[in-house]
Chain A
Amino acid sequence: MAYSEKVLGHYQNPKNVGTLDKNKSNVGTGLVGAPECGDVMRLQIEVDEATGLIRDAKFKTFGCGSAIASSSLATEWLKGKTVDEAVKIDNMEIVEELNLPPVKIHCSVLAEDAIKAAINDYRKKNGLPELKFEESVVH
């Protein structure tokens, strides 16, 4: 299966690989997937307390090229958004942007799950109720 240029681009030059301090109160960490499934994503957001904007996002992923690209793209999209805007990121937007074939759609679903998990972690730390999400739909 040939990869799209965009997936290759993220794989070769991932933008936001790294780790934020998960103990800080303005950092939200989402860890999703499982080693047995071959896909684990850790996505972190750092929220600017004054403005409410996500000023930094970092990821690390154990997974295939599409999984790496999906999580890398997610961190790019998260930066500069508010937490409420970030919640709206939909996996199909990732699929379209990266031209993911049907067999790789689940990678985008996992990225969306990672975003939501990071947001919920941040909310929990800051005394906000965690958001309930419907089961992600795989198109």
Chain B
Amino acid sequence: MLKFPIYLDHNATTPCDPRVVEAMIPYFTNNFGNAASRNHPFGWQAEEAVEKSREQVAKLIGADPKEIIFTSGATEADNLALKGVFEMYASKGNHIITCNIEHKAVLDTCKHIEKEGGEVTYLKVNPDGLVNLEELEAAIKPTTILIAIMYANNEIGTVMPMKEISAIAKKKGVLVFTDATQAVGKIPVDVNKDGIDLLAMTAHKMYGPKGVGALYVRRKNPRVKVTAQIDGGGHERGMRSGTLNVPGIVGFGKACELCMHEMESEAKRLSALRDKLENALLKLEEAYINGSQHHRLPHVTNISFKYVEGEGLMMGFNKEIAVSSGSACTSASLEPSYVLKALGLGDDLAHSSLRFGLGRFTTEDQIDYTIEQVTKTVNKLREMSPLWEMYKEGVDMNSIEWAHH
């Protein structure tokens, strides 16, 4: 029996695993102490829980617990990494290299840093969504203090060549920061094997609660420091003040532990379902996958259905199936997805895209139903599309003078 709505937007957020919620509850009611209260059992209990979570989080990424700073999420971790390094290493330089498909939390922070006198290079990605390693190396100069490249992209699921990127960075003595929000808990991420110096992650993308995340800051080889962006008490080794979100952190730790154990089998299961969905939808004429098919997350697919607009498409089934689109109509700014544009996709294909993000609780029945509904809706909208009609008649749409307004 299918339950509606079906959720296939796991890149946006994920439900809390019931085991995570169970772990958190005592810390709302009975064990409610402030982890910084050093002088009584309430505080000691809270601190113990936090330190246990710190270990669980660290283990998932191959780090030492002392290297984990808890934050309110990945956006804050991104801010702390970028601004924190920019300020701490100001005497060394002011140049940061990133790429043009980063999450807004990175891009907007870089824009802010530019206003503060920083210099930022935004590397272009290739049509597969990958950074060019030669271009990266060529962009490094004596004033470069940080390379910031996301581990996996949230819209297209493309996984960047982190080992190669960090090898180049090491050679030139530049720190590497990665926003690994979409990768942690889904594919193996190891700060040592991957040569990472700073890493941002969040709980709510891996079946944990919203409102809590972490920044990994390397302590050895080299020892990295960041200037705190939030002052007030010196929590988290002086790098991030503020009372710790104990229940959230407990949930985060539990979520990491579950991912640690279930990640491999989950990835296998989900990539099979994702492939089934993708192959069925590719049977439709003029359907295209966006982003690399070889270097990507196992549970994501981003597909454009030419001649049909994304929001209109979603309207055909969004009461029953939740996905998202790169269409301008779905964004507050009315701009189509900048990630899809960066791939070199025409705007019309960006408007025609759907992103499917599968998850821990996705079933084959849900995928079968989704295949049926999406196929039906694409066909129905194509019947209503003047562009589809023109395509079928062999009209060259590039030759038409569209009336812009």
Interface residues of A (CB under 8 A from B): 3, 8, 11, 14, 17, 19, 31-42, 60-65, 67-68, 103, 109-110, 113, 117, 136
Contacts and interface: CB of A to CB of B under 8 A. Distances in A.
Contact of A62 (B308, B332, B336): B308
Interface of B: 307-309, 311-312, 315-316, 327-329, 332, 334, 336, 346-348, 351, 383-389, 397, 400, 402-405
Contact of A38 (B348, B389, B405): B348
Interface centre among A31, A36, A103 (most CB of B within 10 A): A36
A62 B387 contact: yes
Nearest to B405: A113
B288 to A, nearest CB: 15
A110 B385 contact: no
A119 B386 CA distance: 18
A35 B329 CA distance: 13
Contacts, number: 87
B352 to A, nearest CB: 8
B384 A64 contact: no
B386 A67 contact: no
- In this complex, the member of A38, A61, A65, A110 whose beta carbon has the largest number of chain B beta carbons within 10 angstroms is A38
A40 B402 contact: yes
A11 B315 contact: yes
Contact of A61 (B332, B346, B386, B397): B386
- Say what secondary structure dominates the interface of chain A: mixed
B309 A63 contact: yes
- Top 7 closest pairs, chain A to chain B, by CB: A35-B348, A34-B402, A36-B347, A38-B351, A64-B311, A42-B386, A60-B386
Nearest to A65: B315
B336 A113 contact: no
A17 B397 CA distance: 21
Given A61-B386, A62-B308, 11 more contacts: A14-B384, A34-B403, A35-B387, A36-B347, A38-B328, A38-B351, A60-B384, A62-B309, A62-B312, A113-B403, A117-B403
Contact of A19 (B311, B389, B397): B389
5 contacts: A14-B384, A35-B346, A36-B402, A38-B351, A64-B327
Contacts of A62: 307-309, 312, 385-388
A35 B385 CA distance: 11
B387 A65 contact: no
Contact of B402 (A8, A17, A19, A33): A33
B405 A3 contact: no
A33 B403 CA distance: 6
Nearest to A138: B405
Contacts of A60: 384-386, 389
A38 B403 contact: no
Contacts of B312: 11, 62-65, 67-68
Nearest to A63: B309
A38 B329 CA distance: 8
Contact of A40 (B315, B332, B387): B387
B203 to A, nearest CB: 28
B402 A103 contact: no
A52 B403 CA distance: 28
A113 B387 CA distance: 18
B186 to A, nearest CB: 30
Contact of A31 (B336, B384, B386): B386
Contacts of B403: 31-34, 113, 117
A37 B386 CA distance: 15
Given A19-B389, A35-B347, A36-B346, A68 B405 contact: no
Contact of B309 (A42, A64, A103): A64
A14 B402 CA distance: 25
A71 B173 CA distance: 59
A123 B280 CA distance: 47
A59 B387 CA distance: 12
Contacts of A109: 405
A61 B385 contact: yes
Contacts of B328: 37-38
Nearest to B403: A32
Nearest to B315: A65
A4 B400 CA distance: 34
Contacts of B307: 62
